[in-house]
Amino acid sequence: MKLFITPASPYARKVRIMLTEKHIECEIEVVPSLAAPDSPVPAYNPLGKVPTLVLDDGSSLYDSVVIVDYLDHKTPVARLIPQDNNHRATVRRWEALADGVCDAAIAVVMEKRRVPEKQDETVIERQMLKVERGLRAMSEDMGDSKWAAGDKFTLADIATGVALGYLDLRMPQLGWRESYPNLAALYEHLMARPSFKDTAPPAA
């Protein structure tokens, strides 16, 4: 298998952490520019996005939600998506929330990359509200627990940790650790895992 990534992509990091936690071998190909006309990704994913996973038979999977589901079912080693229906739905909702926080943070980054005269402050405010409400919901849902959802490490922790790491990269001024000490504690022990440490995004 081969996984196309960019080093800072939070969705690709979610998949890379999953591969390590589940001890699944996979070649990683870093795409220098997704916007370049010679990007290899569109040949496997018409949307041209990462992560895209190419299977050994040449077929491909995207997006990250589909890929993590595939990987978790590929081997029973270290299941990260619970089998119980209600628990699985809770974990997947965490993933949707954490991915949504990343979507909103990326929208802010993209807006701020426009020339100042073209930036729309209302877009930035609306997306920042999603980030702030998302963080508050995660913190409230987690309460005093060690893990995001239930009493074990799951995909909910992976998705949450990846979103927090992405905020550190793109919005270091946000100060989420001070506002949400329980998320700070979760992030600290997630970063002690080799899967998180080895996939930390490059400094901005």
Ligand X SMILES: N[C@@H](CCC(=O)N[C@@H](CS)C(=O)NCC(=O)O)C(=O)O
Among 13, 51, 94, 127, binds ligand X (CB under 6 A): 51
Residue 63 is given by DSSP the state S
Helices (H), the chain: 10-21, 64-74, 85-113, 121-142, 155-170, 176-179, 181-190, 194-197
Among 3, 9, 53, 148, binds ligand X (CB under 6 A): 9
Of the pair 167, 180, the CB lying nearest ligand X is at 167
Of the pair 43, 77, the CB lying nearest ligand X is at 43
In angstroms, rounded to a whole number, what is the distance separating the alpha carbons of residues 76 and 133? 35
Instruction: Annotate 144-192 with DSSP letters as a single string.
Output: T-SSSSTTS--HHHHHHHHHHHHHHHH-TTS-HHHH-HHHHHHHHHHTT
Shortest spacing between CB 118 and ligand X, in angstroms = 19
Among 24, 26, 28, 65, binds ligand X (CB under 6 A): 65
Shortest spacing between CB 87 and ligand X, in angstroms = 22
Among 34, 109, 124, 171, binds ligand X (CB under 6 A): 34
Is 49 an interacting residue with respect to ligand X (CB under 6 A)? yes
Is 111 an interacting residue with respect to ligand X (CB under 6 A)? no
Q: CA-based diameter of the chain, in Å?
A: 53
In angstroms, rounded to a whole number, what is the distance separating the alpha carbons of residues 137 and 3? 31
**Region from 16-24, 48-56, 86-94, 188-196 binding ligand X, contact rule CB under 6 A:** 48-56
CA dihedral 65, 68, 69, 74 (to 10 degrees): 160
Is 64 an interacting residue with respect to ligand X (CB under 6 A)? yes
Scanning residues 117 to 156, which ones bind ligand X (CB under 6 A)?
none
Q: Using CB under 6 A, list all residues that contact ligand X.
A: 6, 9, 11, 34, 48-51, 63-65, 99
